[in-house]
Amino acid sequence: MAKNNLLVSVIIPTYNRKQYLEKTILSVLNQTYKNIEVLVIDDGSSDNYAKSVCEKFEKCFYYYKNNGGVSSARNYGVRKAKGSFIAFLDDDDIWVKEKLKIQINALINHNDIDCVHGPVEVIDECDNRKGIFYGASKEKTHKRSGYVFWNALGVWLVKASTPLIRKEVFKGNLFFDEDIEVGEDTDFYQRMFFKHKVLYIDKVLTQYRVYSESKSLSSQVEKYNGLEKKIFNNFVKMGIKNPIILNKVARKLLLSKIKNLNKSNNNIKLGFFEKYFLPIHTLKNIK
């Protein structure tokens, strides 16, 4: 099979949210790149709405599993996937028609790159474009490509529904951590960055749906409580033993933790010794 016609497996987890699923699937099936399979992973929904939607389309395959969270659903999809490339798509987001074609060509032309990602455009519940974009500013796009681990750690990650990843990336313990309920994508992509180079294409290929109802910043921060500790522990589980690297990883995560806590009206300040000589200890003990 020609390199430019390799199979892409598109994994769409869904759980009790049927309003946009068919529209999301159609945005995949209408891609200009045609060699695709769509794997809809029903993570224990209360009815079989996803099954009836999938039955409408030849390239769409439905899988049901007991509820285990989005990490569990994504991992399940990866293990079922037959493609050479993996793409994740949330069940309410939308791709533009050229998305896969552009990303496939990028991976084919850059053998040292294992993931292609990019910015997103915000849409609302009615598909209205809000004129809001999430991604790198023009002067920082160069920092989103290559070996980005150290400039990304605790700062930024791949935007949801944008990445296309080589299937071989998913091996060993480089899967989504199913014990992390919120921030699982942060953990996965930071660990992926440690081992793999990425390419940022500064072109909007994904529309990201944002809902009008919003929760307070403090409650959002509370959901992420303990995430940095879990991420650090996962780096240790990867087999990283160099104390200098572990110290630097802990410091980056610690600074990110403090920044997020201070956003919710905390006033935490760390001393030089805590940040540079005892970041692992401080990270593990901070509330």
Output the tens digit of pLDDT for each of the chain's 287 residues.
Answer: 566 689 999 999 999 999 999 999 999 999 999 999 999 999 999 999 999 999 999 999 999 999 999 999 999 999 999 999 999 999 999 999 999 999 999 999 999 999 999 999 999 999 999 999 999 999 999 999 999 999 999 999 999 999 999 999 999 999 999 999 899 999 999 999 999 999 999 999 999 999 886 554 444 556 778 899 999 999 999 999 999 999 999 999 999 999 888 877 777 888 888 888 999 999 999 87
In SS3 terms, 226-285 reads as: CHHHHHHHHHHHCCCCCHHHHHHHHHHHHHHHHHHHHHCCCCCCCCHHHHHCCHHHHHHH
From the number of C-beta atoms within 10 Å of its C-beta (0-12, 13-18, 19+), residue 142 rates as exposed
pTM: 0.94
Angle between helices 70-80 and 184-195 (to 10 degrees): 50
Report strand pairing: 164-166 vs 85-88.
Answer: antiparallel
Give the span between the Cα atoms of 190 and 228, in whole angstroms. Answer: 11
CA 253-259-260 angle, to 5 degrees, is 90
The domains of the chain, with CATH numbers, are: 3-209 (3.90.550.10), 217-285 (no CATH)
